[in-house]
């Protein structure tokens, strides 16, 4: 091993080992970040899917409720006032009204 002669072989080996350890730590940090990003994305995907399912269920319940009110011969304005929702929401929830 060629050197300046100011470091003995033990110091050279220790410095080389420290450099390798530091490089491995950098690589490990990158892998941990990548793993955390993947885990976070999976959580986001699951939350999005759960949100969609909940919204679909709520939309179905809203439409069913509005159809029942329409069957009672209430008009859109009356339903909107009774439910405290907009007439646009009533129309969207029960198309064809």
Provide the pLDDT for residue 94. Answer: 85
Residue 4 domain flag = no
Statement: residue 86 has pLDDT above 90: yes
Average pLDDT over residues 2-25: 86
Q: What is the dihedral of CA 86, 90, 91, 94, to 10 degrees?
A: 170
CA 82 – CA 97 distance, rounded (Å): 17
Residue 83 domain flag = yes
Q: pLDDT-derived band of residue 1, with 50, 70 and 90 as boundaries?
A: low
Residue 1 domain flag = no
Average pLDDT over residues 69-83: 96
Residue 45 domain flag = yes
Residue 37 domain flag = yes
Residue 89 domain flag = yes
User: Into how many domains does the chain fold?
Assistant: 1
Q: Which residue range forms the structural domain that includes residue 86?
A: 9-93
């Amino acid at each position: 091993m060629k050197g300046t002669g100011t470091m003995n072989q033990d110091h050279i080996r220790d410095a080389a080992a420290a450099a390798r350890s530091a490089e491995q730590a950098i690589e490990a940090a990158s892998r941990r970040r990548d793993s955390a990003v993947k885990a976070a994305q999976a959580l986001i995907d699951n939350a999005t899917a759960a949100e969609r399912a909940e919204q679909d269920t709520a939309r179905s319940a809203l439409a069913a409720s509005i159809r029942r009110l329409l069957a009672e011969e209430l008009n859109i304005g009356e339903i909107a006032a009774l439910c405290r929702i907009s007439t646009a929401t009533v129309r969207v929830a029960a198309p064809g009204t």
